[in-house]
Amino acid sequence: NAGVTQTPKFQVLKTGQSMTLQCAQDMNHEYMSWYRQDPGMGLRLIHYSVGAGITDQGEVPNGYNVSRSTTEDFPLRLLSAAPSQTSVYFCASSYSPNYEQYFGPGTRLTVT
Amino acid sequence: AQSVTQPDIHITVSEGASLELRCNYSYGATPYLFWYVQSPGQGLQLLLKYFSGDTLVQGIKGFEAEFKRSQSSFNLRKPSVHWSDAAEYFCAVARHRDDKIIFGKGTRLHILP
């Protein structure tokens, strides 16, 4: 099993550009989530999904979109990148929020 | 509102010394409690979890944690730290039938040789 994979590992964007961070898991987990990690702020939940076709907002959803068309994939879209979105982004999956979360290796995004 | 507090942003201990990292939570019912570790440049890895039963739980890498309902705490302990334990540690809380897990802001552990 590959576990949770994220691409790309690093990305530099200019303000206003859009992009998609990819996340995939091969563990047949229903629950998937996206976090951003900033110094001193810990992990903040952006969006989450409890199954294919079902998504909801977390703590900091503004500027991000998600969709979940398959169990395996949960991409995160930045619509119009802003410097405030410079962060490290982690995708996680699990059977449910009450179970162990499996994290991807992260994507370091810089917006200039 | 539900919350998780890790009061210590940084902790420094000497190699071989004992360690305790604090975690307090605010939740309406008995929560599901977790400790995760993040090594530099890595994702998070589960150290241990508490769902029910024995309030002292054992985890990987020699860590243990104790759930104290009266204090709303779930502190992480290790009797003797190793240089490889230097990392950031996150406490997390979920609630039965809830759809989110809440993470604390983390405690960064530094080890002195």
Per-residue pLDDT tens digits for A25-68: 999 999 999 999 998 888 999 999 999 999 999 999 999 999 99
Cβ contacts of B44 on chain A, cutoff 8 Å: 43, 90, 92, 101, 103
Cα–Cα distance between A106 and B88 in angstroms, integer?
A: 15
Q: Exposed, middle or buried, B37 (CB in 10 Å: 0-12/13-18/19+)?
A: buried
pLDDT (0 to 100) of residue B40? 87
B54 CB within 8 Å of a chain A CB:
no
Q: Which residue of A has its CA nearest to B97?
A: A98
pLDDT (0 to 100) of residue A29? 96
Helix (H, G, I), strand (E, B) or coil at B72: coil
pLDDT (0 to 100) of residue A19? 96
Per-residue pLDDT of chain B (113 residues; tens, 9 = 90+): 678 999 999 999 999 999 999 999 987 677 899 999 999 888 899 999 998 888 999 999 999 999 999 999 999 999 999 999 999 999 999 877 777 888 999 999 999 99
Distance from CA of A11 to the nearest CA of B (A): 15
Q: Which two tokens stand for residue A67?
A: 């969709």
Task: Name the nearest CA neighbour of B94 among A98, A29, A35, A100.
Answer: A98
B42 CB within 8 Å of a chain A CB:
yes
pLDDT(A11) > 80: yes
pLDDT (0 to 100) of residue A13? 97
pLDDT(A98) > 90: no
pLDDT (0 to 100) of residue B99? 76
pLDDT (0 to 100) of residue B37? 97
**Mean pLDDT for chain B overall:** 92
B47 CB within 8 Å of a chain A CB:
no
For chain A, percent of residues with pLDDT exceeding 90 = 89
